[in-house]
Structures are given as C-alpha cells and as structure tokens.
Structure 1
Amino acid sequence: MTAPRVVAAGGHSAGHIEPMMNFADALRRLEPTAEITALGTVRGLDTTLIPARGYPLELIPPVPLERGLNRALLGTPGRLRESVRAAGAVLHRVRAEVVVGFGGYVAVPAYLAARGQGLPIVVHEANARPGVANRLAARMTTHVFTAAPSVRLAHATAIGIPLRPAITGLDRPALRDAARRRFGLRPDGPVLMVTGGSQGARTINAAMSGAAAALRATGVQVLHITGPRHAVDVPGGGPADPAYVVVPYVDEMRYAYAAADFVICRSGAMTCAELAAVGLPAAYVPLPLRGGEQRLNAEPVVAAGGALLVDDADLSPAWIEATLIPVLTHPERVAAMSARASSAGAPDAGVVLARHVLAAAAERRGLAS
C-alpha cells in the first residue's frame, strides 16, 4: 500500500507547533511509512522547533489575520492570495492526501489551498477559545477535534491535546528517586515544582521568594524553574533545611514532573494537558491576558478536584502560607488530587487524532482510485 501523504499546518507559536509535532510522532508510530510535511512561515518558532523534531518544513508567506480596522487589514486579501498559492504549490508537489491544521498564521492558507484541491481537512484546536483560523476551518470540514468538551467549535469532538510519549508514558513513582537526585532534592518529603513557562513569571517568582522561609519551616522542598530571563531571591537556609533548588530551565520536563508532588504554574493549554496526563495536581495562576483564556484551560481539572485556581492579583506569600502549604503538607489530600487530575487527562489524544487522519487519507485515496 502507498504511504499516506500528510501536510501538517500549525506554525508560529509553541502552542501550535508542539501539538502538531506530537501528532506527527504519533502518526509515525502508527504508520512508519507516512510522509509528513510541515507547513510554516519565517515568523515565530517554525524554523527552530520543526526541523529539530526531524520533519521537512516548507515555508509560505505569513498572513497574520488582523482583528481591527487598520491599514494592515486592507493588505490582507493580496497577501492571503499569495500565501494560498504558495501553500497550494506545496500540496501539489508533495501529492498531499490530507491537510491537518492546528491554527496559527499558516493554517488559513493551508485550509483554503486544501479546499481548492478537494483535499480532506482535519482540524485540531488546543485552546479553550478557538482562533480565527480554526473557526474558519470548522465551516469547511466535519473532521474537527478539540482539547476539551467546553470548546465551542462546529462539528467538534473532544480528544485532548497530543503529547509526547515521554510524558504520556511517564511512571512518576518509578522515576521519583532518580529525578530527585538529579536536582539535588532529598528523597523524602513533599516537593513543590514552580514554573512560569519557558520565559518565567514575575508574579509567581516574587510570591515564592516571599514564602520560601515558610515553606522550609513546614518541610516542603522546592524545585523552582525561574525562566532564563528571571532570577529569584531565596533567603539562605541551613544544611539541615529542606532544599530550595533554583534552575533557569529544564530540558527534560519528565524529570521535573517525576520529582514533584505538586506544581504552581500558569495554565497554558499544553501545561494543563501535561500535568493532567501525568497526574500532577497544581495551583494554576492564569495569565491575566487574552480575555481569560488561561482560566478556561484550567477549569476542567479544577472542576474535577485535581487543581486549585488563584488569580494573578491574589497570588502572594500570604496565599501560599494560608492556602497552599496546608495542602502540600497533607499527603492524603495531595494523593486524592493527583487521582482526580489523572481522571481529567487524555494521554492518547495523539494516537486518536492520527487514526482519524489515516482514515481521511484512506478515504481520499479510495475516491481518487
């Protein structure tokens, strides 16, 4: 049988690229002969993240969709036509059988080019609030998949977000001791992992610095990932005090997840999906931008009892001392929240999506024969 030929479109941000690459990996595991081409632009992280994952990348002109009436909007139709032509040329050259879109600058040209060539379109929306590209695509296809049932998108089926096998297959208890040694943490006692994402979060860093002494006094160890552009001032502890480990970045997050019992972090879509998949309870601090989208990402696991939710403006050393420390020092409650977080996860989303894409490609091949 001929290898399925798939074009994946979802560039610009890691929030689009990471699910796309995780899907591509899942597709390769199901069908090793699959020919997968990524469509991207010179903007954003496309040329950095996609080649690093080993997939061919075809570049087309970017078409940011303007949300307001301004001069840039007047030039959009011309730029869009140029980008659609470029995307169509790629689809023709690689003999694509199906286009899978994840949103972002590159998705609209890919969707329009696919429709022009009569190719099936499969859409995945990772965010709680769909972007312009995927709202448009949902009118072109019935193959629409979302991260959660609450996402409002036509024809949508909730499957979760495609994740890496290193995350979905993580056995936290089995890796815990080795992970704690890796970061210089003691094997016993609760560990709180702190992260604001790859760039850090000043609010979280400041609150943790202020609560460091209280955390040490109650026996809580901390693994604090500050982000490469941020530093955190932690009051010095004695040799017998619980560890407070500060690192700017972690390359392999599975070790950080395995070392931790609880997390305090932002609530980006990928973060929420990964923590639920590995069963880590969290205190989510939604980024107070983008119309409250990060709050929506966290709400399903919070509703399941697997996480706490605190507004950015309310996060403080006092909140950590009064609300978070009593949870961290109650092992039974942490264990219960871990189980509830796991129940909200969807570790097989990549495989589910890959099977739908293979079926769409097979249907296209059957119609063309």
Structure 2
Amino acid sequence: MTTDSLTSTSPALHTSIGKTGVLIVNLGTPDSPNTPDVRKYLREFLMDGRVIDIPFIPRWMLVNLIIAPFRAPKSAKIYKELWTEDGSPLKTYGYSVEKMLQQMLGDQYVVKLAMRYQSPGIEDGLKEFQQMGLSSLTVIPFFPQYASATTGSVYEEVMRVLKGWQIMPELRFVNRFLDHPKFIEGFARPARKYMAEHTYDHFLFSYHGVPERQIRKGDPTKAQCKLGSCCDTLNQHNQFCYRAQCFETTRLLVKALDLKEGTYTTCFQSRLGSDPWIKPYSDDVIKDLAKRGVKSVLAFSPAFVSDCLETTIEVGDEYRELFEENGGEHWQLVESLNDSQLWVEVLADLVQKN
C-alpha cells in the first residue's frame, strides 16, 4: 500500500462511531457557605500535593491542624456574602455554561460540568461517560493560564480515574487558552463599556498567585527562570511558566484596549503563608498607586473565567476598600466571562479545534 493510498483513506479511519464527551472543569466550591462544608472544601483543596507542594505529613499537619480549623469560620462568613439564592456563583455559572455549550455543540457531543474539588466531582462525571461508549473525550480545565496547581492537578485527577478503565476513548486535554481572541474580547468588551463611562488613571491586572518555588520547579532547564525580565516575552523556554503566561495575557489585553505604557500593572493576589510568592503583590501595588495620587482604577482578574470569592470579594470589595483607605476614589472591577456568549464560543472553538 502506498503513502497516497493511506492518505486517501484516512478520513474513513477517523469517522466517529460514538459521541465525544466534553468535560469542563472548574476549581470547585463548598457545598454550602456553612463552616463544616467550607472546612471540608479547604481540606480537600489544600491537601492536594500540587497546591501545597510539601511532603505529606507536614502538609497534613498544616492543613488539618492549622489552616482548616482556623480559616474555615472566617472563610464561611465571606462565602455567605458571595452566596446567592441559586447557590455558589461559580457552580451556577458552570451549569449555565454546560447547558449553553451542549446546545451550541449539538447531539454528537455530551457536555458535563465537573469540579476539581467537591461536587460535581471529576470521577462521577467520568463514570457517566464510561457507560456511554464514547469515541473520544476532551477535557477543558477552566484555567486560561497553565499552572501545576490548577490545570496540572486536573490532568492528574483525570488520569487517576482513567488508569482503571479497561477501554479508554481517545483523550485530549486543553492546556491553556489565554491567547484565544474571544477570551481576550470577553474581558475587553465590558472594559470598553466602563472606559466609555469613566476616565481611569490606571489599569490593574491581578492574577492569582503561586509560590515562587512552584515556578522554579517548572523550569526544565533549572537556569532559565529568574522571576523577572524573563517573563517579558512568552517563548519556547518559558511557555509553561505561569507568571510569564500572566504577563502575556496582560499584553494581549493592553493591545486590545489600546492602553498606553505606564498606565497598567500586572500583579498577583491571594498569597498564603510566609514563603515568597510571585511578585509584585496586588495589595502592595494598590497602596502604592493610591499614595502616588492615582484616583481611579479599572481592575481585571483574567485568571478566572467565573466570578468567585477571589474576584467579587477580594478584588471587587477588599481591594476597593484598600484603595480608598490610601487615598483612591474610584475602583471598578471588570466582571469575569461567567456564562457570556463569548465564553461559550471560546469553549466550542476549543472542542472543535481539538
């Protein structure tokens, strides 16, 4: 058989017999804003060795004897501020996106929402897929930038479940989508609306932080990562560096919004513990901006596709209060993609591209 004959018959080899499963995965949320459920969520989340990457025994002691007992009651109060009549916004938006994406993709696909932590679980979703006789499975973690603690953790959990299957469908993962034009437009569009209504002195792009040690662990050369100017471009050497991907996301949004140099800052929020996390820290940047005389800020959280505690409460409320306490006057958070049509189109593109 010649190469030409193989090429000519290849379409038939790829004819789909069964359906394609699409597992969309967000981080997770407590089942309720009550302290026991928040404590349960924190324990599962923080016991993940990719989230707190220290040996098991000290991690267990830190999470179960210090963080969960003392942090859960405080976090529960904040979750109660976030909660709606329909429950957690993150889960509400997730189910809405699940429904919209299913309608957009059609009957040849089966879309299911899962959470890396708590419910609906990844294992439960995959077990439902297992009974359907799927031809292929596409997994899309809801994290625009790759990080070991987020996308990497989803990969690991999916493979933990699948390794016990006798028959595995063709499997595809979406690694990241920070440069998808519709993802960028999903943040740029509401930002343009706010910019038309108000003049902003500065634009803040705040991303969830990770410990510096995790960035260095991800450097295969053990020499490339300097946690500084090496993030000024995204290239083959740092393409999986979370910090570099965040700076690239900012550059793409700056271009889409035609922002001037010197009017924007990339920074990182939500650090935990005493070890150094990637910098600059959002709270330090905000205090400095206000003290320098900046009066109005338009803030973005482009590491999150759904509004949640880290966006609505931390960036939207706590950072606004911090800004005003230090002399700022106007603070506006650009909402996440949530269940917007553009976000669903991003997901459909990712599925069909794969």
Q: TM-score, normalised by structure 2?
A: 0.34
Considering Cα pairs closer than 8 Å and 6+ residues apart, tell me whether 1 or 2 has the greater RCO.
Answer: 2
Q: TM-score, normalised by structure 1?
A: 0.33
